[in-house]
């Protein structure tokens, strides 16, 4: 019972279903783990784009990392752009956690995003208009089911 309560507390700390998010993604250009400057978050090269915001201190984010990677690989095959933004901590832990997502991970030590909870999934259009916000990790049976649940297919 104690483990279940601890898990519930961790989930509540990492995800808040009432989190308010701006109607547009910020016009911010973040550095990638590889050291390059990424394109503005307010633009996307595809009709729909998935932006996932995670933090190194979030246990749910760490548990979801393999599923996030599978989802990104699946989205690549369907022509939907995706990106992972790692923030809400000091740069050292951000870099360490971003390494799990690859060199194109975006580092956000300055706080371009100020979510009330993570992980946070934002579906936007090519101009950065937020179409859908999903707080927490929507667990599904497969990457394609998750993409469908997020409204990306």
Q: pLDDT of 85-136, one tens digit each?
A: 999 999 999 999 999 999 999 999 999 988 889 999 999 999 999 999 999 9
**pLDDT greater than 60 at residue 5:** no
- What is the number of structural domains in the chain? 1
The mean pLDDT value for 67-79 works out to 97
Stretch 19-46: mean pLDDT: 88
Average pLDDT over residues 34-58: 96
> Which value, in Å, is the radius of gyration of the alpha carbons in the chain?
15
Query: For the whole model, what pTM was predicted?
Result: 0.84
Domain that holds residue 120: 2-149
Q: pLDDT band for 22, please (50, 70, 90 cuts).
A: low
Point out the least confidently predicted range of 1-5, 34-38, 105-109, 110-114: 1-5
Judge whether 19 and 89 are in contact, CB under 8 Å.
no
Average pLDDT over residues 4-30: 55
Residue 16, pLDDT > 90, answer no
What is the spatial distance between Cα 94 and Cα 100, in angstroms, rounded to a whole number? 10
Average pLDDT over the chain, rounded to an integer: 87
Instruction: Residue 139: give its domain's CATH number.
Output: 3.40.30.10
Residue with tokens 């996030």: 68
Contact, 16 vs 120, CB < 8 A? no
């Amino acid at each position: 019972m104690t483990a279940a309560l601890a898990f519930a507390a961790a989930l509540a700390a990492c995800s808040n279903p009432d989190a308010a998010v701006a109607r547009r993604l910020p016009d911010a250009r973040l550095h990638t783990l590889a050291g390059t400057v990424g394109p503005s978050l307010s633009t996307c090269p595809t009709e729909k784009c998935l932006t996932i915001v995670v933090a190194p201190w979030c246990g749910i984010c760490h548990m979801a990392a393999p599923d996030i990677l599978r989802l990104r690989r699946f989205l690549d095959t369907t022509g939907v752009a995706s990106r992972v933004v790692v923030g809400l901590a000091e740069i050292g832990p951000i870099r360490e956690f971003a390494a799990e997502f690859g060199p194109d991970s975006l580092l956000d030590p300055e706080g371009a995003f100020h979510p009330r909870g993570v992980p946070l999934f934002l579906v936007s259009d090519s101009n950065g208009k937020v179409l859908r916000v999903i707080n927490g990790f929507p667990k599904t049976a497969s990457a394609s089911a998750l993409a469908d649940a997020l409204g990306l297919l």
